[in-house]
Copies of this chain bind each other. A is one copy, B any other.
Amino acid sequence: MTVVALSGGVGGAKLALGLQDILPPGELVVVANTGDDFEHLGLHIAPDIDSVFYALAGLNDTERGWGRAGETWQCMQALGGLGGETWFNLGDQDLALHLERTRRLRSGESLSEVTAALCDAAGIATHILPMSETPVPTIVHTAGGDLAFQHYFVRDRCEPVVTGFTHKDAERAQMPAALLALQDVEAVIVCPSNPFISIAPILAVPGMSDWLKSLGAPVVAVSPLIGGQAVKGPTAKMFGELGMDVTNAGLVAQYAGLLDGLVLDHADGEDVHDLTVATAVTGTLMQSAEDRHRVAELALNLAEAIKEHME
């Protein structure tokens, strides 16, 4: 049996780790957003794949909340001294991942193959797959003009007012063959990632939504909202800027018919009355392993209940 999780970066990776912990080894497949990917300093950087990779390998820095534990910044400091670009901070250990990925991509491996090789090397039984083998860069439309994703996200700290998004080159994107080959998918879990910049790019890959629906497996999201706010990042701000209510009904509408169920936080318990999908309520803030396991378990249980109801 297989569980497919759709994930963005750090927030999604927490649930992915919870799912990995409670599922038998190798049964989890994480489809990571690559809309944030960009070429920087000649390196292919895939922030969401990396966040999932570090979390699932137990290498992530849980205090800082991103990147590798025990990270150092010698290279960036030296780069600054040489007049290089330092607005996107890359740790010394983190650089190794970008160097090795870039080297493998240049030698002709696909992004899926590279990611699989790195997971093997790190001893990760979970399969991490990019949403697409080719780049589908998210372009952020703002009041002040279009921005490359990392210019919006990191350089400009999500400050510009967002008016919409384009998933560039999505029309020529291809789902990884390893994803299409999956059998016996029992549940699809949409991680508590930003719906606009983490999950929407995945769903923009041609065939992805249809494939998810064709699996005959319940699709259950864990809401990224807690009390009408996001735990971290610009999710709530974007709802507002895009003229949407920052509610779980807004979230379900954003996922346009994809969801069969939603796990939401106690703080938003009242939202269940406005929802047309099956729901389960718990504390969705994932700070401990117990939190991650509880949320992951509840999402899988909700999927199972929906599945029984389907049959």
A residues whose Cβ falls under 8 Å from a Cβ of B: 41-43, 68, 71-72, 74-79, 81-84, 91-97, 99-100, 102-103, 106, 117-118, 120-122
Q: Is the interface of A mostly helix, strand, loop or mixed?
A: helix
- Is there an interface contact between A83 and B117, defined as CB atoms closer than 8 Å? yes
Most buried by B among A75, A106, A122: A75
Which residues on B sit within 8 Å (CB–CB) of A91?
Answer: 74
8 nearest A-B pairs in the assembled complex, by CB-CB distance: A83-B121, A78-B96, A74-B92, A78-B93, A79-B96, A92-B92, A84-B100, A75-B92
* A237 CB, nearest partner CB in chain B, Å: 33
A95 to B91, CA, bound (A): 12
Chain B neighbourhood of A122, CB < 8 A: 81-82
Residues of B within 8 A of A41 (CB): 99-100, 103
A75-B99 contact given A121-B81, A122-B81, CB 8 Å threshold:
yes
The verdict on A93 contacting B118 (CB below 8 Å), with A99-B41, A100-B83, A103-B41 known, is no
Given A99-B41, A100-B83, A100-B84, are A92 and B117 also a contact pair (CB < 8 Å)? no
